[in-house]
Amino acid sequence: MNPLQIEMLLHYRCLGGEFRDFEIPAVRKAFLGFIKNGMIKKCKSSTPLNTYKLTERGNVFIDHICNLDIPEIKTEWIMKDK
């Protein structure tokens, strides 16, 4: 999953309106993929500000991303052989 796709899922979770730049192929492709994979769905009573929303599957995915541990930097010093 790339940053654009994560941004789109967050958009549909928080706002629900149309995502910007839908004419861009990458946006359209991601949107159609989310529909196909059951991540977003059309609202039953849609308005211009509330057309699509995350499904339970999409919400679980975003919850998983939000609960990831922050990576720690690990530095190791190694002696080179002479």
Q: Does residue 77 form part of some domain?
A: no
Supply the pLDDT for residue 17. 78
d(CA 2, CA 21): 16
Residue 81 resides in a domain: no
Based on the structure, what is the number of domains in the chain? 1
Q: Is residue 53 part of a domain?
A: yes
pLDDT digits (tens, 9 = 90+) for 37-79: 999 998 887 666 678 889 999 999 999 999 998 888 888 888 8
23, part of any domain: yes
Q: Which two tokens stand for residue 36?
A: 């196909």
Is residue 76 domain-resident? no
CATH number at residue 60: 1.10.10.10
Rounded distance, CA 72 to CA 69, Å?
A: 9
Whether the full predicted model's pTM is greater than 0.85, yes or no, is: no
At residue 82 the predicted structure's pLDDT band, cuts being 50, 70 and 90, is low
SS3 68: coil
Q: Are 31 and 20 in contact (CB under 8 A)?
A: no
Instruction: Give the pLDDT confidence score for residue 59 in this predicted structure.
Output: 96
Per-residue model confidence (pLDDT) at position 70: 87
Residue 17 maps to a domain: yes
Domain presence at residue 29: yes
Q: Domain of 51?
A: 3-66
Confidence (pLDDT) at 48: 64
30 in Cβ contact with 5 (< 8 Å)? yes
